[in-house]
Amino acid sequence: MTRLLLRLLWCAVWASATTIAHAVEVKFQPVAPGVYAFIGEKSGRTYGNEGLNANIGLVVTPAGALLIDSGASFKGARQIHAAVKQVTGQPVKWVINTGGQDHRWLGNGYFAAQGTEVIAHASARADMQARGGDHLAALKPELKEKLDGTVPTLPTRWLTGNDEALNLGGTTVEVKHRGGAHTPGDLMVWLPQQKIVFSGDIVYVDRMLGVIPVSHTGRWLQSFATLEALQPARIVPGHGEVCELPMAQAQTRDYLQALRTHMRKAVGTGEDIGAAIKAFDATAWLGLLNAAELHPGNASRTYLELERE
């Protein structure tokens, strides 16, 4: 009986230690004075990372803080807020959602309850409304009780222009939207004084980008061209480590351009979609995380997109 009890206690301690070891730690790292980023895990959404497998931005000003994206759940947003408080005592005045993917906006409910103004581009609205329930259904098997309290909560302020200039505490914040990318509402947040851009899912590095049914690779490249024209000193991508422009060009722009060029020719000659996918040379990008899993879907959706053009 004593041996059994000791064994059970040991198992409980081991399980507890394992859970703690794999729990996500939200911590903002400095990018420039007053500018920070949390770099999420580069793999998929898991119970351990609480769906926070994307990057979150923070800009601190004398008039309050700007948070770029709110996380994948109410509880995740609370952790993000706790991490903000480790950096600054300033309240979070604004949250900007950079797109309609789950980890960009499902934490909105938490911040709205704090009195934070939540901002996004109007092009994200229909996508958020259409897919919010689907996001929850997809996350529930992974996040389980960690999803409790999460309610898809729309932004309270919708931007409508291609370029919107905002100011918080003397810090200029330019929001740029060019028709979307990974999702229709994808935008970038440009800090011209610091020459830093938070790209949202317009830029992926270190891991393969995802072309999903609501993506549009043509507009994605238009958005990327706008980012290039800014000539940023540093990019905080939607996924992956903080980087400079050449890396973003190689791992996001060049891949999308190559896909579109190849699939446009295939559609033009009437090549079958399966043959077109097999004929595409993805060697340059197969070293990216998740490439083997995501590339076939990216290729097929790009073919179908060009077929409609």
175 part of a folded domain: yes
Q: Measured on CA atoms in the order 280, 268, 251, 119, is the torsion positive or negative?
A: negative
Identify whether 212 is part of a domain: yes
What pTM was estimated for this model as a whole? 0.92
At 17 the pLDDT is 37
- Residue 265 falls inside a structural domain: no
Q: Can you list the residues of the chain whose pLDDT is less than 50? A: 1-21
**Domain extent at residue 240:** 23-244
Total domains in the chain come to 1
Res 22: pLDDT: 52
pLDDT score recorded for residue 24: 83
Residue-level pLDDT at 13: 38
Asked, for residue 52, whether it belongs to a domain, the answer is yes
Domain for residue 281, yes or no? no
**275 assigned to some structural domain:** no
Contacts of 232 (CB under 8 A, 6+ apart): 190, 195, 196, 197, 244, 245
Query: Residue 239 has what pLDDT?
Result: 98
Q: Is residue 119 part of a domain?
A: yes
Q: How many CA atoms lie within 13 A of 295 on its CB side?
A: 23
CATH of the domain at 175: 3.60.15.10
Q: Is residue 290 part of a domain?
A: no
